Structure 1
């Protein structure tokens, strides 16, 4: 990002495939010449970033600050230190920029009376670029399909799609995206298990073919609060087939992933579920009372949407409504609580 220059995101040319804003910049970690020697000057990324509207707007603002062709984050125009003159911002400049942004955001929140939007003071001190990167990764990784999105955003898709390449690539840096994905996934699954145990202990019902096994794992899972999780431990933690619990808010269920039961991964030997290809009737599925409530809420929203769509689309929405309510009813009939013996 610090290598981006004014003009790196030109306005797109309309085409039958649609218009996309593309960001072209340099990469450095894997920049090598034809003989395999590292190029400190970097090379252009093979695949440009696809920019959404807020990113394009931010680039346009930066292009008004710096001269044409200049680095968007040139230290000369962003209160950088003397030793970074003519270069991109260093760690100190980035840290000051993040601090200034937090101050501005809190002022805006106070001005509009949005007290719940205030960014609290960080007990660990000023926010650094490394910690900011981890914060972004935390939020991305905890969405359905978030691991692939995380790899796409950070420019290392092959670390997700190819295990052999990922292993070699991830070892080039202790802070490589491969390690980051594993750590965030391990933390996320541990939080999912802890949440299930807490809900069940407070009387919430649980159902599904993997409910009993999931409850056992949730009651014995390791907690990570206040613990530094290393990449090697995260990989071993996630490799425990049949004992890792994944949240899938898109499908409104939990996945107690066991490879030989997974309908999403019949053609691969993946150690993790494909949450974007969740299949109804999978033996790894688990649902809670909250999921049943969300299923009915989604069904109600489909009914409202059906009123404003042509009949073919409305019919599909109503069919989906019946399926969602059926899943919620199945949960109500088969749910168990901590006060009841397991079937």
Structure 2
């Protein structure tokens, strides 16, 4: 099949060809736009190019080099990879993406090299042989996860045995004792979250680039793209020496360094300043070098425009330099600005790296009210994970205004003829307009993120600043693109109702998936969230006890709340004073948690036998209140603080304001609001000695 630049990529139906007939190995894959099946690799080739099947813009272009496999096992390696690429897959297995095949291919090479030294054919390998392979992996791969991947790659020669005509394993390696090293497969995401002490300054510096530094970088970028105009009237040949001598004497008199490039005077900049050609200036290079020895050299700036960005009231940089090898060069600063935008978008949107890499010019949609004020920002891109189309499915994310600013900056930073916002920037000699990768690969982004933190720390060292990206356990934190999405999940999960909000924001199909993403007990994330929530609640309760606020509670559970808090206060006292240190408070909450949960509208004095939220929803084994199913106006676990009563009064005032609005609300909505007003008023009259005020 052939695809044209304007056609939608579709999977090519597999022709009825056997491997011996030398078929195209990608005939069952979705090909990227513009690729021709007739130009792709065949089964008989020793090197297969997977580039045409890499439909994601940020994917690297991989090959399968079968020359790495000993000749005795090369054919079976080809058969397995051919089956995984173009199928059909055996029962119980799914067709992997081309990038996945390349990843597994590394393990195929490892296993087949070991097998070639062990036996002539795979079918002759015994259980004792595969036990030896496990010992080989333990000696050569220190990480458990790496050994698990290696064993999974070897097991493919059993799972896909129906696709192999020449050789295969005779039994399932999973039946061998210890094949999984007694380690259960973790179904949750184990990506580390970014520590708060790292994320804080990292995000602050990123917003500085977007809000304070971007104007100078974009101005330098425009100057870089604008070719210098030729002299209106080049001076006659005989006058070049005099003009150059006068210009150099002026620099000597004012002690101004000459513009430099790579440690030498920049003849191009000097020629532009004098108003003649570079060739004319080159003839007088000796005179220029003598002047440079007197006044020194300063790296050449991109332009003479003043620096407008400020940091603590001072220009954040002396100048943006033209030499791309300098830390303060336009090439470096433009990349840092792009990296800053990536950090803000990755953290605030929750989009995956593949989804961010497919952002295109015009991806931002802004919704405005009747007065033209923006109130909602949406980001459009492609989603891949869990979607049926390998080329991606259109998706939308709701983002905040800072993330929208980052998109605007990226659109200004990219040249007009570049559609993708994370395409490589053109400021270095290695940047090619027809590069294979249209956008930055995931590996390139990870490397740049860590160079970004290194530049920040170097900048702070040069300018004696203390807002560095701190080390964690005496090592610089290693950033990866996956950590931002995981860290955002952590922050969302810690908020009331955050699991539901996270499931929606992260485009997960159910709440349980997001709970696993934010962290469950195996990874420690969920336990850590609950521990910190309990600690914050304990601090709040102790402050309330110290202020005797528990004596002012009203509501059906007020007496029970006062009893629990009194007992908790007694346990919290140490030598006559309340607990103040974090360690003792954590122990206290673990052993003697009063199960009192302060909230905006009610204080929940949780008793699972009376909790309407548990009756409305089948909860798990933990007896915790379900704030998403809370029924505060009817539940007997409710106590009210003065702040809770004030929140209900504010709700009554809001309803009154809506009922009095003009034009009148629809009758059904009026009825619902009036019923809500009466329900809240009756609730407060039952549980508060002071009747609510009318708005």
Shift of 1:74: 6.2
Aligned mates of 1:146, 1:124 — CA distance in 2:
28
Equivalent in 258, 261, 264 of residue 610 of structure 2? 261
- Asked if the contact 1:306–1:315 (Cα under 8 Å) also holds between the matched residues in 2, the reply is no
- Asked if the contact 1:242–1:258 (Cα under 8 Å) also holds between the matched residues in 2, the reply is no
In structure 2, do the counterparts of structure 1 residues 93 and 71 end up closer, same or farther at CA, with 3 Å as the change threshold?
Answer: farther
Q: Helix, strand or coil: the match of 1:291?
A: helix
| Structure 2 unaligned blocks of 5 or more | 1-345, 347-352, 366-376, 428-440, 458-465, 574-578, 691-695
Equivalent in 394, 397, 417 of residue 50 of structure 1? 397
- Asked if the contact 1:75–1:89 (Cα under 8 Å) also holds between the matched residues in 2, the reply is no
Aligned mates of 2:541, 2:406 — CA distance in 1:
40
- Does 2:382 align with 1:24? yes
Partner of 2:676: 320
Partner of 2:627: 275
How many equivalent pairs are there?
272
What's the CA shift string for 1:65-110, capped at 9, x where partnerless? Answer: 3464657396988xxxxxx9981154434547999xxxxxxxxxxx
- Asked if the contact 2:605–2:638 (Cα under 8 Å) also holds between the matched residues in 1, the reply is yes
Q: Following superposition of structure 1 onto structure 2, how do residues 74-113 of structure 1 map, counting pairs within 5 Å? A: 87-90=444-447, 91-93=449-451, 95=453
- Asked if the contact 2:520–2:526 (Cα under 8 Å) also holds between the matched residues in 1, the reply is no
Shift of 1:290: 1.1
Aligned mates of 1:73, 1:325 — CA distance in 2:
59
Q: Considering Cα pairs closer than 8 Å and 6+ residues apart, tell me whether 1 or 2 has the greater RCO.
A: 1
Aligned mates of 2:638, 2:648 — CA distance in 1:
14
Aligned mates of 1:11, 1:22 — CA distance in 2:
7
- Asked if the contact 1:22–1:49 (Cα under 8 Å) also holds between the matched residues in 2, the reply is yes
What's the CA shift string for 1:257-300, capped at 9, x where partnerless? Answer: 33332212224133333312211321322221111122112212
Shift of 1:304: 1.7
Moved more, 60-69 or 183-192: 60-69
Question: Normalized against structure 2, the TM-score is what?
Answer: 0.31
Partner of 1:184: 529
| CA RMSD in angstroms, aligned pairs only | 5.2
Q: Following superposition of structure 1 onto structure 2, how do residues 1-343 of structure 1 map, counting pairs within 5 Å? A: 1=346, 2-3=353-354, 4-7=356-359, 10=363, 21-24=379-382, 50-52=397-399, 54=401, 55-56=403-404, 58-66=406-414, 68=418, 72=422, 87-90=444-447, 91-93=449-451, 95=453, 125=470, 140-141=492-493, 143-153=495-505, 160-161=511-512, 166=516, 170=520, 174=523, 179-204=524-549, 205-215=552-562, 216=564, 219=569, 220=571, 226=582, 243-249=594-600, 252-266=601-615, 267-270=617-620, 271=622, 272-279=624-631, 280-308=633-661, 310=664, 312=667, 313-333=669-689
In structure 2, do the counterparts of structure 1 residues 85 and 318 end up closer, same or farther at CA, with 3 Å as the change threshold?
Answer: closer
Aligned mates of 2:455, 2:685 — CA distance in 1:
52
Shift of 1:60: 4.2
The structure having more radius of gyration, on CA atoms, is 2
- Asked if the contact 2:599–2:644 (Cα under 8 Å) also holds between the matched residues in 1, the reply is no
Q: Helix, strand or coil: the match of 1:273?
A: coil
Q: Helix, strand or coil: the match of 1:191?
A: helix
| Structure 1 unaligned blocks of 5 or more | 13-18, 31-42, 78-83, 100-120, 335-343
- Asked if the contact 1:262–1:284 (Cα under 8 Å) also holds between the matched residues in 2, the reply is yes
- Asked if the contact 2:613–2:626 (Cα under 8 Å) also holds between the matched residues in 1, the reply is yes
- Asked if the contact 2:364–2:379 (Cα under 8 Å) also holds between the matched residues in 1, the reply is yes
Q: Helix, strand or coil: the match of 2:625?
A: coil
In structure 2, do the counterparts of structure 1 residues 71 and 243 end up closer, same or farther at CA, with 3 Å as the change threshold?
Answer: farther
Aligned mates of 2:572, 2:420 — CA distance in 1:
51
In structure 2, do the counterparts of structure 1 residues 136 and 52 end up closer, same or farther at CA, with 3 Å as the change threshold?
Answer: closer
Q: Helix, strand or coil: the match of 2:684?
A: helix
Q: Helix, strand or coil: the match of 2:689?
A: helix
- Asked if the contact 2:555–2:688 (Cα under 8 Å) also holds between the matched residues in 1, the reply is no
Shift of 1:147: 2.6
What's the CA shift string for 1:89-136, capped at 9, x where partnerless? Answer: 54434547999xxxxxxxxxxxxxxxxxxxxx8799489769988985
Moved more, 221-230 or 198-207: 221-230
